[in-house]
A and B are shown apart, each in its own frame.
Chain A
Amino acid sequence: MSQLAPEITDVHAIVDEVWRSFLGEAEPLLARPVPAGTPFDSAAVWSASVSVTGGWQGTVTVEVDERVAAELTRQMLGVPDTADEDVADAVGELVNMVGGNVKSLMPGPSTLSLPSVAAGRAAFASESVEVARLDALWAGQPVRVTVHTAAQ
């Protein structure tokens, strides 16, 4: 059975809009072809995810290089220095926005969880299936957004 999934073009449009709203147009997010199954290729990563439960069940995950996370946080807060708690807040807000917009595309009614954030790359349970993935580069550093659902 095929998994109900958001269109990748919609996911791309959401991420692009969220990205531009925080980081402006000066440094665009560039799509990047990465073969399926390739682990996120960054030595130091922040990751965050939200889950949607109800009419559609899925998890939206964002992984960014720590330099991207730090810059995102500086831009969001408008401050030169960032503490871990600020980065966690900023990356969590990023996935909340992407996840909330993905939820709006899918059949409802459903509930969006609060974000969970970690310093480290995301790992997924064996029963989860990747149904959409966006790999990109921002200022030369990797960014990944994935959508997973449970296997049917």
Chain B
Amino acid sequence: MKILIADDSRVMRQIVIRTLRQAGHGGHDIVEAENGRQALELIQTESPDLVLSDWNMPEMTGIDCLDTLRAAGSQVPFGFVTSEGSEEMRARATASGAMFLIAKPFTPEAFDEALRPVLGSVG
């Protein structure tokens, strides 16, 4: 499987990659994007099986990226990893077609719970 991680913070991308491993979802191909616009381009060229995206990013936010994808007919599984976990944000994510929203700070268990339906159980 190929997973695209979109976050403007390199530190956060590293943490997401490490948490994937800790959650038992290591070993996938990882593609990294620094903002929503770059994510859109990479989704077209790399065809990931899953997108894990920050919400708040320069150039293009995660929610704008998701809305653009869905408007273009893409049904790529898309989940948010964001510091904003309010009901309002969750409702907006779901309305736009996100599969889940993982709030930061998170645990490997929260990752596994959100990702298992997409990536399958491992180990």
Chain A: residues with CB nearer than 8 A to chain B?
A: 17-18, 20-22, 73, 76-78, 86, 89-90, 92-93, 96-101, 103-104, 108-109, 112-114
Q: Using Cβ atoms and an 8 Å threshold, which residues of chain B touch A22?
A: 105
> CB within 8 Å of A: which of B91-118?
103-107
A96 near B83: Cβ-Cβ < 8 Å: yes
- 12 A-B pairs with CB atoms under 8 Å apart are A20-B105, A86-B11, A89-B9, A89-B12, A92-B9, A96-B56, A100-B82, A100-B83, A101-B103, A104-B86, A109-B88, A112-B84
A21-B106, A93-B15, A100-B85 are known contacts; what are 15 more A-B pairs with Cβ within 8 Å?
Answer: A17-B105, A18-B104, A22-B105, A76-B11, A76-B15, A89-B10, A89-B11, A89-B12, A93-B9, A97-B83, A100-B56, A100-B82, A100-B103, A100-B104, A114-B58
Q: Using Cβ atoms and an 8 Å threshold, which residues of chain A touch B104?
A: 18, 21, 96-97, 100
B105 near A104: Cβ-Cβ < 8 Å: no
B14 near A78: Cβ-Cβ < 8 Å: yes
- How many contacts between A and B, using CB within 8 angstroms? 66
Q: Using Cβ atoms and an 8 Å threshold, which residues of chain B touch A97?
A: 83, 104-105
A90 near B83: Cβ-Cβ < 8 Å: no
Max chain A C-beta neighbours (<10 A), residue from B18, B56, B84, B107 = B84
Q: Which residue of the partner chain, among A18, A20, A21, A108, contacts B86 with CB atoms under 8 Å?
A: A108
Q: Is the interface of B mostly helix, strand, loop or mixed?
A: loop
Q: Using Cβ atoms and an 8 Å threshold, which residues of chain B touch A100?
A: 56, 82-85, 103-104
Q: Is the interface of A mostly helix, strand, loop or mixed?
A: helix
How distant is B67 from chain A, measured CB to nearest CB, in Å?
A: 16
Chain A residue with Cβ nearest B15: A76
How distant is B1 from chain A, measured CB to nearest CB, in Å?
A: 23
B8 at the interface (CB under 8 A from A): yes
Q: Which residue of the partner chain, among A76, A90, A104, contacts B85 with CB atoms under 8 Å?
A: A104
Q: Bound state CA distance, A138 and B37, in angstroms?
A: 38
A114 near B8: Cβ-Cβ < 8 Å: yes
Chain A residue with Cβ nearest B12: A93
Q: Using Cβ atoms and an 8 Å threshold, which residues of chain A touch B11?
A: 73, 76-77, 86, 89-90, 93
Q: Bound state CA distance, A17 and B106, in angstroms?
A: 9
How distant is B84 from chain A, measured CB to nearest CB, in Å?
A: 4
A18 near B105: Cβ-Cβ < 8 Å: yes
Q: Using Cβ atoms and an 8 Å threshold, which residues of chain A touch B84?
A: 100-101, 103-104, 112
Chain A residue with Cβ nearest B106: A21
Q: Using Cβ atoms and an 8 Å threshold, which residues of chain A touch B15?
A: 76, 93
Q: Using Cβ atoms and an 8 Å threshold, which residues of chain A touch B12?
A: 89, 93
